[in-house]
Amino acid sequence: GENVEQHPSTLSVQEGDSAVIKCTYSDSASNYFPWYKQELGKRPQLIIDIRSNVGEKKDQRIAVTLNKTAKHFSLHITETQPEDSAVYFCAPLSGGSYIPTFGRGTSLIVHP
Amino acid sequence: KAGVTQTPRYLIKTRGQQVTLSCSPISGHRSVSWYQQTPGQGLQFLFEYFSETQRNKGNFPGRFSGRQFSNSRSEMNVSTLELGDSALYLCASSLLTSSETQYFGPGTRLLVL
């Protein structure tokens, strides 16, 4: 099955700083790369995704970059705000099994 | 559109019992996936249903099963409950496949005593 690693496990930043979370995967056939945000006590919500034919995608303060050769993709959050505090999960989808494998999550803490 | 709903929201059972959880997807969505979330193992894929058929299955024992009805509503069943089955069970729906945007329900928190 797919091996997914997410780093760091915890990230603490000051409001206004940038945050970067990296996700590495093992299945070279993976073709869909989403990031989910889960606030405490809430359900996971998709915040941005990218497909294998695109290298970068941006949506306001959030961006995702994909390096298929190195098999990793990253979530970039600029100008962080306290409401960005949450656990973020990557979940690359294997192109063969179509089973999403979630990373262990990154707890982002934005200090006001 | 109404979001994904799950019932019940909370459940307490004892070891050896069985439990059935229900998920109603967003109207028009035909794919329903189930996940188990625990502090130790994180979010793990259980199975996916599409058009009343199990399309994909994760690495869980046969005690975990599910089904989907013609209106796309789905149920999952866990038989012979074990303490380790205590978790948040999430379902997610998408239009056709899990490679599209998945919308999660609020989850059912199951506690096994």
Q: How far is CA A103 from CA A46, B45, B63, B67, B105, in A?
A: 14, 12, 25, 27, 19
CA distance B70 to B81: 28
Query: What's the pLDDT score for residue A1?
Result: 67
Inter-chain residue contact A98 with B56, CB threshold 8 Å: yes
Chosen for mutation from B26, B93, B99, B100 (greatest number of chain A CBs closer than 10 Å) is: B99
**Longest pairwise C-alpha distance within chain B:** 38
Tell me the β-bridge partners of A46.
Answer: A36
What is the C-alpha radius of gyration for chain B, rounded to an integer number of angstroms?
13
B43 touches chain A (CB under 8 A): yes
Please check the confidence at residue B97 and state whether its pLDDT lies above 80. no
Q: How far is CA A88 from CA A25, B57, B67, in A?
A: 16, 24, 30
Q: Which of A69, A29, A17, A73 is nearest to A50 (CA)?
A: A73
Please check the confidence at residue B18 and state whether its pLDDT lies above 90. yes
Of A45, A93, A105, the CB nearest to B99: A93
Chain A hits for B90, CB-CB cut-off 8 Å, are 43-44
B25 touches chain A (CB under 8 A): no
Predicted confidence (pLDDT) per residue in A69-107, tens digit? 999 999 999 999 999 999 999 999 876 667 888 999 999
